[in-house]
């Protein structure tokens, strides 16, 4: 049995502030160690539950935050970008289930460090009329490949907005959000213990989980943070302008939709 552990940082216990998630300062160096430790806690639980092979995917920012020399040696690490499958990089090897560790709620919500893919570029993302954050988008990408999400961890807002998408999954609430930059967190040690226990249960109950599938065709409706971004994104001829800050496009798969969104996120650096 092979598990992909996709690891973000905003939902990790102890992380509340933008400084902690951006390279170039001491607070980030501490936070990336907590992120690595939560990934290891998930590895430990997965193996206890019967997993034989584990890939850990670094899914934050430039996809190079986890400390390779701090990683449990029973796992291999997926690092760096760009990659076609983004936060699900590694699934191309064929995996039986996904963990989402340290995830966060979607843009415009009231969760800790809430955003969707790129906080500068995207305000809201709707797929076939359903508003989704990163967990929903990438969960649907895994679902399209027949793979269920069986464990997810993050704050209470993230869990509330995501629970219905992954029936049969295990959840660990690492903190309670009071807002974008405040709340109450578990200690990193308590969070790791809870993640290890939930990971073991998740793997043991893998057969009860249902992949999150969104049937094609996929219509993506996207609200940008500014109309200048919408001007830029509509340079791409298959994107259609709906209003000042709203665009839409249709594709035949979630993978194509996510690759398009990640290409737009990369384009947005022109306006930063
Ligand atoms: Zn992130």
Tell the burial category of 204 from Cβ atoms under 10 Å away from its Cβ (0-12, 13-18, 19+).
Answer: middle
**% of residues, the chain, pLDDT over 90:** 100
pLDDT digit string, tens, across residues 128-142? 999 999 999 999 999
Cα of 119 vs centre of ligand 1, distance in Å, is 10
Cα of 270 vs centre of ligand 1, distance in Å, is 21
Residue 133 is given by DSSP the state -
127 within domain boundaries = no
Helix (H) or strand (E) holding 156: helix 156-162
Cα of 59 vs centre of ligand 1, distance in Å, is 7
pLDDT digit string, tens, across residues 152-179? 999 999 999 999 999 999 999 999 999 9
Cα of 86 vs centre of ligand 1, distance in Å, is 12
Are 168 and 248 within one domain?
Answer: no
141 within domain boundaries = yes
Are 239 and 178 within one domain?
Answer: no
Cα of 8 vs centre of ligand 1, distance in Å, is 5
pLDDT for 51: 98
Cα of 107 vs centre of ligand 1, distance in Å, is 12
**% of residues, the chain, pLDDT over 70:** 100
Are 37 and 91 within one domain?
Answer: yes
Cα of 104 vs centre of ligand 1, distance in Å, is 8
pLDDT for 177: 98
pLDDT digit string, tens, across residues 40-93? 999 999 999 999 999 999 999 999 999 999 999 999 999 999 999 999 999 999
Are 202 and 222 within one domain?
Answer: no
Are 87 and 161 within one domain?
Answer: yes
128 within domain boundaries = no
157 within domain boundaries = yes
| Arithmetic mean of pLDDT, 203-231 | 97
Contact indicator for 206, 1 with CB cutoff of 8 Å: yes
77 within domain boundaries = yes
Cα of 114 vs centre of ligand 1, distance in Å, is 9
Cα of 21 vs centre of ligand 1, distance in Å, is 7
Nearest to 38 by CA among 18, 20, 16, 56: 56
How many whole angstroms separate alpha carbon 259 and alpha carbon 60?
Answer: 16
| Arithmetic mean of pLDDT, 193-210 | 97
Cα of 155 vs centre of ligand 1, distance in Å, is 13
pLDDT for 187: 98
117: alpha, beta or left? (left if phi > 0; alpha if psi -120 to 50): left
Are 243 and 161 within one domain?
Answer: no
Cα of 90 vs centre of ligand 1, distance in Å, is 18
Are 160 and 227 within one domain?
Answer: no
Are 86 and 7 within one domain?
Answer: yes
Are 138 and 222 within one domain?
Answer: no
How many whole angstroms separate alpha carbon 6 and alpha carbon 185?
Answer: 21
Count of domains forming the chain: 2
Cα of 105 vs centre of ligand 1, distance in Å, is 10
Cα of 60 vs centre of ligand 1, distance in Å, is 4
How many whole angstroms separate alpha carbon 34 and alpha carbon 21?
Answer: 11
Confidence of residue 232 (pLDDT cuts 50, 70, 90): very high
Which domain range does residue 82 map to? Answer: 2-117+133-208
193 within domain boundaries = yes
Are 40 and 82 within one domain?
Answer: yes
């Amino acid at each position: 049995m092979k598990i992909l552990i996709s690891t973000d940082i905003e939902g990790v216990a102890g992380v509340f502030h933008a400084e902690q998630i951006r390279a170039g300062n001491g607070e980030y160096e501490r936070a990336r160690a907590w992120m690595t430790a939560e990934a290891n806690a998930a590895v430990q639980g997965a193996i206890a539950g019967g997993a034989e092979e584990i890939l850990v995917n670094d899914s934050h920012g430039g996809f190079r935050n986890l400390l390779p020399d701090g990683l449990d040696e029973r796992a291999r690490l997926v690092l760096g970008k760009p990659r076609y499958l983004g936060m699900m990089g590694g699934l191309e090897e064929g995996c039986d289930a996904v963990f989402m560790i340290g995830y966060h709620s979607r843009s415009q919500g009231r969760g800790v460090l809430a955003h969707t893919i790129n906080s500068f570029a995207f305000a809201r993302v709707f797929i076939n009329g359903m508003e989704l954050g990163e967990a929903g988008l990438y969960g649907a990408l895994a679902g399209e490949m027949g793979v269920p999400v069986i464990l997810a961890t993050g704050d209470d807002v993230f869990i509330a907005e995501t629970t219905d998408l992954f029936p049969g999954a295990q959840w660990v609430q690492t903190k309670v959000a009071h807002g974008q930059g405040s709340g109450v967190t578990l200690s990193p040690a308590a969070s790791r213990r809870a993640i290890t226990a939930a990971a073991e249960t998740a793997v043991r109950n893998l057969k009860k989980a249902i992949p999150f599938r969104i049937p094609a065709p996929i219509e993506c409706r996207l609200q940008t943070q500014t109309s200048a971004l919408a001007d830029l994104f509509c340079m791409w001829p298959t994107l259609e302008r709906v209003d000042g800050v709203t665009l839409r496009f249709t594709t035949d798969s979630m993978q194509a939709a996510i690759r398009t969104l990640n290409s737009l996120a990369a384009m947005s650096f022109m306006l930063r």
